Chain A
Amino acid sequence: MANKLNLTLKVWRQDNAADGGRFETYPARGIDEDMSFLEMLDVVNEELIEDGKEPIAFDSDCREGICGTCSLVINGIPHGGRKGTTACQLHMRNFKDGQTISIEPWRARAFPVIRDLIVDRSAFDRIIQVGGFVSVRTGGTPDANSMPISKEVSDKAMDAAQCIGCGACVAACKNGSAMLFVAAKVSHLNLLPQGKPEKTRRAERMVWKMDEEGFGGCSVTGSCEAVCPKEISLDFIAKLNRDFALSVFK
């Protein structure tokens, strides 16, 4: 039988974007240590509903670490601080019985809180809309291997393409910077032959959009890389710095 945990949650509650918000404390009793963090919240919410209270609003979708919807700052760390793990994949066995856990939303000007722990991340979509695509007519399915791509390059592009756009990088950065996200999205296309023709234009547009959306600048603290559930490397930020420089001097 799995161990049961009794925890205290300090949760950010906010009725809507205009509300000032506040912390509220809830007990989480008899939590199975094999539960995920979100399942634990489900249990707490059922109790809240039974008591006639508003359940805690939080985002989730796939619950298997691939969609990037879950977004909780747990004890001061986006996704809770377990390497390469999203909040939905974080198990309660990582916590100690009797522990108090603080849960906050992503905090950034560009990610306004909609309700409780849910933030509006459409700023990311708008960044993708200005350059996160390849503008060519694709036609029919091309022959396999008609476009040779070395293993090194494809591996690197795949590493960048791992980004699930959850926004933990922004949440963790002391500057609320979206550099890791933008770098990953720019790099995964810029590295491949299909994306090369628009390389500098893509970097330029996405960087300007990022600035315009009100994200901060990168000061190379490395927090983003440390919390990224997909372990996207700071290397891509260096690459973005190069690609943007090329666009400026072009």
Chain B
Amino acid sequence: MKLITGIFQSTLGRKYIMAVSGAALVFFVVGHLMGNLQIFLGREVINAYGEFLHSVPELLWGARIGLLAMVGLHIWSAVSLSNDNKAARPIAYENWNPTAASYASRTMLMSGLIIATFIIYHLLHYTLQVPGINFTGQDFGTFEELRAGHDPRHDVYRMMVVGFSQPLVALFYICAIGLLCLHLSHGVSAAFQSLGLKSKTWAPILDKGAKVFAIVVFVGYASIPTAVLLGLGKEVMK
């Protein structure tokens, strides 16, 4: 009982939840990036990767449900803490100087909620492949790679190329990744602090490390739509 109330009710406990769920999501962000970057290795490679991910539905769904739970906990702890935090200062300062608090640290809820909205769009776009929202007039669900001697498989490569060839969609994607970068630049090192794993000696390394990591994530993800807009995969556009 003490465990449950300590973790789910106290401010510190909810920060543990936020840090742990955030860490899980960071692992996903890295794994997903590794997967996506295979687009640069060609159609064969990324389509095989897509096929591999879908080869064991139990694992795939296990991972999806786990991720959804992490997203749920992350958002729940954020919203519930943020409500408490706002209530703790009912009257705002007239003249306010947010000493030492970075822009990222002051806007975590906003950046997080916009990223969440993007994720919903992103899932409809590439996971559920709802034709109406990709703004290309094509149905990604019908994209198939035909190979001699094999069953046809889903053409992930073509889906990504066609999807990002729509400039507004690509722009939204890049903006969302930019916000993710901002979010991570604070969140990654703050998670260490919330779990009590930060100290003066490590603080500069963790703070800088979080920023470098966030930039690497941004460059990695943004490289894909950028490459498509610059002509990657033109051959499959028809």
Contacts and interface: CB of A to CB of B under 8 A. Distances in A.
Contacts of B98: 174, 221, 223
Contact of B11 (A218, A233, A234, A242): A218
A107 B95 contact: no
Contacts of A195: none
A102 B94 contact: yes
A34 interface: no
Interface in B1-56: 2-3, 6-7, 9-16
Interface in A198-250: 204, 207-208, 210-211, 214-223, 225-227, 233-235, 237-245, 247-249
B195 interface: yes
A204 B14 CA distance: 14
A211 B80 CA distance: 13
Nearest to A237: B193
Contact of B92 (A107, A208, A214, A249): A107
Given A216-B11, A217-B11, A238-B193, A76 B89 contact: no
Contact of A214 (B15, B87, B95): B87
Contacts of A107: 89, 91-93
Given A76-B93, A222-B101, A244-B10, A238 B196 contact: yes
B82 to A, nearest CB: 8
Interface string B72-92: 000000000100111111111
Interface residues of B, number: 48
B186 interface: yes
Contact of B203 (A217, A234, A239): A234
Interface stretch (B102-110, B116-124, B167-175, B213-221): B102-110
> Which of B15, B99, B190 has most A Cβ within 10 Å?
B99
B196 A245 contact: yes
Contacts of B2: 248
B142 interface: no
A226 B102 CA distance: 12
A211 B95 contact: no
A176 B89 CA distance: 6
B93 A217 contact: no
Contacts of B88: 108-110, 175-177, 214-216
A215 B88 CA distance: 5
A216 B84 contact: yes
Contacts of B198: 234-235, 238
Contacts of B10: 207-208, 211, 244
Nearest to A102: B95
Interface string A163-200: 00000000010111100000000000000000000000
B195 A241 contact: yes
A174 B82 CA distance: 10
Contact of B101 (A10, A75, A207, A221): A221
A77 interface: yes
Contact of A248 (B7, B97, B106): B7
Nearest to B3: A248
A73 interface: yes
A59 B138 CA distance: 70
A51 to B, nearest CB: 25
A227 B96 CA distance: 13
B190 A175 contact: no
Given A175-B85, A176-B85, A216-B84, A104 B197 contact: no
16 contacts: A12-B94, A75-B97, A108-B88, A108-B89, A174-B98, A175-B84, A175-B88, A177-B11, A177-B85, A204-B6, A216-B89, A218-B11, A219-B108, A220-B189, A245-B196, A248-B6
Interface of B: 2-3, 6-7, 9-16, 81, 84-102, 105-106, 108, 186, 189-190, 192-200, 203
Given A216-B11, A244-B13, 7 more contacts: A76-B96, A175-B84, A175-B88, A177-B88, A216-B89, A220-B186, A245-B196
In the A-B complex, the 6 residue pairs with the closest CB atoms: A242-B196, A216-B88, A76-B97, A217-B11, A176-B88, A226-B100
